[in-house]
């Protein structure tokens, strides 16, 4: 069988507060929206910007964490897979919705920043960047160790290759 990949990676801002609910069997599920921006210059030299809005859903423990940590306006890193649902509305019209089912999430703003990110060239403190890994705990430890190491490394302008 041929190998395939279904992976979405986005960094954006929450468009609404996460909404947590439970399935009939007690499984937590949280949904929210994230906006991403794209900037470009047209052939005429005019600067343009376009926003894309994404529907996201998290399940289980990750759903609970998203509900606790995230708020409208906060910046977030998301990894997940695309999933499209189809259903027939009460009016008899067929409807479709594509969403990102979250597998990993990192809140990029300090907890009490109210959606404002850290100052430019200022690395956030390790305790301000929650790393959420679904899967092996060893992987989460590696990510935290890498973030801690990167935080302490100083880079001079001479080391930048461009």
pLDDT digits (tens, 9 = 90+) for 130-152: 454 454 444 555 545 555 444 44
State residue 2's pLDDT score.
87
Domain assignment of residue 19, yes or no: yes
Domain assignment of residue 129, yes or no: yes
Question: By residue range, what is the domain housing residue 112?
Answer: 8-156
Domain assignment of residue 22, yes or no: yes
34, pLDDT greater than 60: yes
| CA distance readout (Å), 148 to 65, 122, 128, 143 | 21, 14, 11, 9
Number of structural domains (the chain) is 1
Q: Looking at per-residue confidence, does 5 or 140 come out higher?
A: 5
Domain assignment of residue 99, yes or no: yes
Domain assignment of residue 115, yes or no: yes
CA pair distance 22, 63, nearest whole angstrom: 10
Domain assignment of residue 118, yes or no: yes
154, pLDDT greater than 60: no
Residue for token pair 């990110």: 117
Whole-structure pTM value: 0.64
State residue 160's pLDDT score.
53
Domain assignment of residue 131, yes or no: yes
CATH number of the domain enclosing 28? 2.40.50.140
- Per-residue pLDDT tens for 49-88? 999 999 999 999 999 999 999 999 999 999 999 999 998 9
Domain assignment of residue 162, yes or no: no
């Amino acid at each position: 069988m041929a190998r395939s990949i279904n992976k979405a990676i986005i960094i954006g801002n929450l468009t609404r507060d996460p909404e947590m609910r439970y399935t009939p069997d007690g499984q937590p599920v949280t949904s929210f929206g994230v906006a991403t921006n794209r900037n470009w210059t047209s052939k005429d030299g005019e600067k343009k910007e376009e926003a894309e809005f994404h529907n996201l859903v998290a399940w289980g423990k990750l759903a609970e964490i998203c509900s606790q940590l995230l708020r409208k306006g906060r910046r977030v890193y998301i990894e997940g897979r695309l999933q499209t649902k189809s259903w027939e509305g009460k009016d008899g019209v067929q409807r479709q919705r594509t969403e990102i089912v979250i597998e990993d999430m990192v809140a990029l703003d300090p907890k009490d920043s109210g959606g404002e990110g850290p100052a430019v060239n200022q690395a956030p403190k390790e305790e301000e960047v929650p790393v959420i890994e679904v899967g092996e705990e060893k992987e989460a430890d590696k990510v935290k160790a890498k973030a801690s190491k990167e935080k302490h490394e100083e880079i001079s302008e001479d080391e930048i290759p461009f």
